[in-house]
């Protein structure tokens, strides 16, 4: 039986404002105060693991130990099959120190063209980990499939959203309504699993 979240305050172990906004929305129905790692001035650990789940646990554990509160973290990425699932766990790093996702998307397209492949299958993956200060973790993963589009389209969302078109749809995540993205995304899928596992006893907000 998975551990239940009964505390009324948690830390969101992320410094990415796009993710913080989306996760706050997902947690909105609960009577749980969400503070971000940035607000608590917690350091950002190096992501030294080789899997999304490993990095999600690493980040949440660091925040839980530093704050004494349960911590929730997200490790996610964009994968393009034709280029060996790059950038994958290095998705944030492909944007460089300036976090320039225009540049990161250019790199994806350059690698895609160099591959000679016409397979545009890509996906977003999200691992979510909830870690308590005693080190216990509950960790889940959500995946969605899409098509890589070029050139990028739309200014909504963040990161690789303008080059991701969910299978069966005609707009990129950069073009769709953010609320709709929140309801179908890899993060939403992972979150649904986490809710099912750990939030059964969590008080709802008014
Ligand atoms: P990390 O989990 O902090 O290593 O960063 C994951 C990176 O993957 C983000 O910086 C984004 O570039 C990308 N990413 C993850 N989720 C999304 C999403 O929902 N839309 C667009 N890009 C995403």
CATH number for the domain spanning 43: value is 3.90.950.10
Say how far apart CA 116 and CA 96 lie, in whole Å. 25
Do residues 165 and 171 touch, judged by C-beta distance below 8 A?
Answer: yes
Compute the 3-state secondary structure of the chain and give helix, strand, coil in percent, each to the nearest 5: 35, 25, 40
Say how far apart CA 22 and CA 183 lie, in whole Å. 10
With respect to residue 203, please indicate whether it lies within any of the assigned structural domains. Answer: no
Active site members: 75
Instruction: Say whether 163 sits in a helix, a strand or coil.
Output: helix
With respect to residue 205, please indicate whether it lies within any of the assigned structural domains. Answer: no
Determine the atom of ligand 1 nearest the C-alpha atom of 87. 8
Strands 71-80 and 137-148 come out as unpaired
* pLDDT value at residue 165: 98
Residues of the domain holding 66: 9-198
Query: Is 88 close to ligand 1, i.e. is its CB under 6 Å away?
Result: no
With respect to residue 37, please indicate whether it lies within any of the assigned structural domains. Answer: yes
With respect to residue 1, please indicate whether it lies within any of the assigned structural domains. Answer: no
Q: Which of 19, 21, 95 to mutate for ligand 1's pocket (most ligand atoms within 8 Å of CB)? A: 19
**Number of Cβ within a 10 Å radius of residue 132:** 19
Q: Which of 91, 97, 149, 174 to mutate for ligand 1's pocket (most ligand atoms within 8 Å of CB)? A: 91
Number of structural domains the chain divides into: 1
With respect to residue 154, please indicate whether it lies within any of the assigned structural domains. Answer: yes
Shortest-distance Cα residue to atom 1 of ligand 1: 75
Query: Is 91 close to ligand 1, i.e. is its CB under 6 Å away?
Result: yes
* pLDDT value at residue 206: 63
With respect to residue 53, please indicate whether it lies within any of the assigned structural domains. Answer: yes
Query: Would you give per-residue pLDDT tens digits along the chain (206 residues)?
Result: 899 999 999 999 988 887 888 788 888 899 999 999 988 999 889 999 999 999 999 999 999 999 999 999 999 999 999 999 999 999 999 999 999 999 999 999 999 999 999 999 999 999 999 999 999 999 999 999 999 999 999 999 999 999 999 999 999 999 999 999 989 999 999 999 999 999 988 888 86
Shortest-distance Cα residue to atom 2 of ligand 1: 75
CA 92–ligand 1 middle distance (angstroms)? 6
């Amino acid at each position: 039986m998975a551990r239940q979240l009964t505390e009324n305050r948690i830390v969101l172990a992320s410094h990415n404002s796009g993710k913080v906004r989306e996760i706050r929305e997902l947690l909105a129905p609960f009577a749980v105060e969400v503070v971000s790692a940035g607000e608590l001035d917690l350091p950002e650990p190096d992501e030294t693991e080789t899997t999304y789940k490993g990095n999600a646990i690493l980040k949440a554990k660091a925040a839980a130990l530093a704050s004494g509160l349960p911590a929730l973290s997200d490790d996610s990425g964009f994968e393009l099959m034709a280029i060996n699932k790059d950038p994958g766990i290095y998705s944030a790093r492909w944007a460089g120190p300036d976090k320039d996702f225009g540049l990161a998307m250019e790199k994806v397209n350059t690698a895609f063209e160099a591959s000679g492949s016409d397979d545009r299958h890509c996906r977003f993956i999200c691992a979510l980990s909830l870690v308590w200060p005693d080190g216990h973790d509950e960790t889940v993963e959500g995946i969605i499939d899409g098509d890589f589009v070029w050139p990028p389209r739309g200014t909504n969302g963040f990161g690789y959203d303008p080059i991701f078109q969910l299978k069966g749809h005609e707009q990129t995540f950069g073009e769709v309504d953010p609320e709709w993205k929140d309801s179908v995304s890899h993060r939403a899928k992972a979150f649904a699993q986490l809710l099912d596992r750990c939030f059964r006893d969590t008080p709802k907000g008014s």
